């Protein structure tokens, strides 16, 4: 039996700084979205990414049943959207004009970057559902990303270092 408690797990993993995204989907014509920082690039050929979504959340159901979703990576100026889409039980799109991507999935207008995906596969892992998406469309704009570190939104600063060579 493990003795790792959830608060400690969250506190320690919170040292791993991330960006912030809103995953969006649709179910029975109703748009859903939730703020995530569990976004990870999985594969380049084919282009796959994953997000880990809370097993009970409405967005999780919308995305796994609908078979499509968009990942909207937020800019430093979109913290208000990160907070809006993290509110439990709220109608996250209330008052927002719903824009759609090329695959018809609701998207966040003016996101820092956007990746539209088909669900490749999904499986339950503990209290979350791991959703692997195959990227169909993607775009990005200039700007600064929103960061998340130790439970707080933060800036991610480009210090102009040399780019890293990728050997794999
Ligand atoms: C910065 C940040 C990152 C989050 N990352 C995730 C995540 O990766 N997976 C997840 O299930 N919930 C994550 N959450 C919590 C969800 O955003 C929140 O529980 C959800 O939007 C509530 O929606 P619901 O009413 O449909 O349950 C995160 C919240 C914040 C503020």
147-159 core/surface letters (b: 16 or more CB in 10 A; e: else): bbeeeeeeeeeee
pLDDT value of residue 121: 98
* pLDDT digit string, tens, across residues 69-126: 999 999 999 999 999 999 988 888 998 888 999 888 999 999 999 999 999 999 999 9
Question: With bands split at pLDDT 50, 70 and 90, how would you rate the model's confidence at 158?
Answer: confident
Superfamily of domain 6-151, CATH level 4: Electron Transport, Fmn-binding Protein; Chain A (2.30.110.10)
The domains of the chain are located at: 6-151
Q: Which atom of ligand 1 is nearest to the CA of 85?
A: 21
Q: How many other CB atoms sit within 10 Å of the CB of residue 134?
A: 15
The confidence score (pLDDT) of residue 98 equals 87
Q: Which of 47, 71, 44, 66 is nearest to 122 (CA)?
A: 66
User: For residue 160, what pLDDT is reported?
Assistant: 87
Pick the atom of ligand 1 nearest to 60's CA. 26
Q: Is the pLDDT of residue 32 over 70?
A: yes
Q: Report phi then psi at 131, rounded to 5.
A: -110, 120
36 Cα nearest atom in ligand 1: 5
Q: Measured in whole angstroms, how far is the alpha carbon of residue 33 from the centre of its chain?
A: 9
Where does the pLDDT of residue 168 fall: very low under 50, low under 70, confident under 90, or very high at 90 and above? low
Residue nearest to atom 14 of ligand 1 (CA): 36
Q: Which residue CA neighbors atom 7 of ligand 1 most closely?
A: 36
Q: Quote the CA–CA distance of 76 and 98 in Å, as a whole number.
A: 21
Query: Taking 90 as the threshold, does the pLDDT of residue 167 lie above it?
Result: no
**What per-residue confidence (pLDDT) applies to 129?**
98
Q: Which of 134, 126, 4 is nearest to 68 (CA)?
A: 134
Q: Cα 90–95–97 angle (5° rounding)?
A: 120
Instruction: Give the pLDDT score at 164.
Output: 86
The predicted model gives 134-142 an average pLDDT of 97
Query: What local confidence, expressed as pLDDT, does residue 103 receive?
Result: 83
Total length of the chain: 168
């Amino acid at each position: 039996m493990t003795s790792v408690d959830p608060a400690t797990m969250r506190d320690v993993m919170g040292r791993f700084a991330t960006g912030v995204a809103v995953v969006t989907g649709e179910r029975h014509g109703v748009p859903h979205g939730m703020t995530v920082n569990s976004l990870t690039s999985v594969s380049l050929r084919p282009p796959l990414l994953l997000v880990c979504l809370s097993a009970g959340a409405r967005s999780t159901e919308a995305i796994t049943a609908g078979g499509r979703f968009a990942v909207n990576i937020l800019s430093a100026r979109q913290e208000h959207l990160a907070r809006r889409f993290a509110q439990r039980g709220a109608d996250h799109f209330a008052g927002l004009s719903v824009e759609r991507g090329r695959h018809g999935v609701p998207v966040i207008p003016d996101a820092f970057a956007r990746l539209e995906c088909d669900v490749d596969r999904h499986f339950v892992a503990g209290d979350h559902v791991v959703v692997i998406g195959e990227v169909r469309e993607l775009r990005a704009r200039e700007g600064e990303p929103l960061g998340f570190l130790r439970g707080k939104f933060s800036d991610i600063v480009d210090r102009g270092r040399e780019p890293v060579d990728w050997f794999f």
